[in-house]
Amino acid sequence: MFVAAMLDALPDLRERVLADGAAVLPVEAGGIAFEEGESLSMRVRRFGLVAKRAISAAAPHAHANAYGDDDGHHHHHDRNQIPDEAHAGSFADMVARIKAADLHDGTAARAIAILTIIAEAEAAIHRVPVERVHFHEIADWDSLVDVVCAGSIAAALDKTVWSVSALPRGGGLVHTAHGLLPVPAPATAAILTGFEWRDDGISGERVTPTGAAILKHLTAPGAGGTSGRLVSSGTGAGTRHLPGMPNILRVLVLENEVSTPSDTISVIEFEIDDMTGEEMGVACDRLRATDGVLDLSVGQRLGKKGRPASSFRLLARPELADQVTARCFAETSTIGLRLREERRLVLFRENVKAAGLAVKAVLRPSGITRKVESDALRGGSLAERRAMKWQAETTDDE
């Protein structure tokens, strides 16, 4: 459903993504179908594998499709499909096939990253090394195609900031290679720990481990919704019929020019040359905690008569500037200050987790940059802190 919705919203990606999906398939596995359909009279797109040799019991002369009920990758296998023995399903096998395929730039790395998320979750659940994980979840060619196509989309949209609404929890039991398990499946729950869920009263497996891994690769728990101009939308659907609602995944594409977000702030400045360091430390803490203060910096300069002075500079919300200036007079010894309004440009940023550390991800014109929060780098030697910082700033968000 994710791939279908994305290709519906962004038609320019279709050639690249479909080519990458086909590149990991053997000839006998069939072909990829990206078709228009309906879900409760709504126009939707469906994406999946059409198996050459599988014959539908309901339609003897028709090709059987392998469209997933939700995200195209489920634990149960009651559909006509390529047999499991048609290809190996271990983590190493899947990685090797992806690496050997002729894919567009960035696709392999993204697809392998998605597979790794699943493998690490399964390894933790079954207490085995990642190398020994066997993918019951992606034991079919159509599921591998989903992973590769999702990786292709992620690579093509490398500078995109992603967010997701609360996820449908589902309910009941799901058939797996390990028997009946409660929904959400253990791997899904492990992967999406920290994400928001909602109960819409409809049972069944609503999010699969593969779909969960795609989400975690693209965004982080608690990532806020992005703002911008709506430029397109897409709707992907599964084949499962939900009571009273269409079985769809909808994508909204928002355009946000990095240079346009701006606001107006108040700048408050003054100098102090007659307070002790301890007194200024207390004053700074109290000023930073004042409602309306966005930032506070203190620099050193030479004041009147060559005396050392501390230069205070506060950024505040204009509507609260009067309260902030009053607090400045109350907490410091200044008897005058300068106040003006300035236009401020602000890059989109969000707080995420990477390598177990708090990281600030910033959308710049050249792409996304990451910086570890300084409070997260406490303890250890300088070399250890630098190594942790480098790992977190060069690792995909958790």
Q: Cis omega before residue 184 (within 30°)?
A: yes
Q: Residue 164: pLDDT above 80? A: yes
Asked whether the beta carbons of 114 and 94 are under 8 A apart, the reply is: no
Look up residue 149 and give its two tokens.
Answer: 């196509």
Dump pLDDT digits (tens) for 9-32: 999 999 999 999 999 988 877 889
pLDDT value, residue 345: 82
Residues 6+ apart with CB under 8 A from 227: 254, 256
Across the range 323-344, mean pLDDT stands at 94
Domains of the chain in start order, with CATH, are 2-255 (no CATH), 262-345 (3.30.70.1380), 349-393 (no CATH)
Question: Which residues lie across from 235 on neighbouring strands?
Answer: 250
Q: Residue 245: pLDDT above 80? A: yes
pTM: 0.59
Asked whether the beta carbons of 18 and 34 are under 8 A apart, the reply is: yes
Q: Residue 52: pLDDT above 60? A: no
Q: Residue 84: pLDDT above 60? A: no
What are the residue ranges of helices labelled H in the chain?
Answer: 2-9, 14-23, 91-100, 107-126, 141-156, 186-191, 209-218, 277-288, 321-331, 382-393
Q: Residue 139: pLDDT above 70? A: no
Which of the residue ranges 43-57, 188-202, 294-308 would you say has the lowest mean pLDDT? 43-57
Q: Residue 191: pLDDT above 80? A: yes
- The pLDDT-based confidence of 357 (bands split at 50, 70, 90) is confident
Return the higher-pLDDT residue of 176 and 74: 176
Across the range 354-381, mean pLDDT stands at 81
Q: Residue 279: pLDDT above 90? A: yes
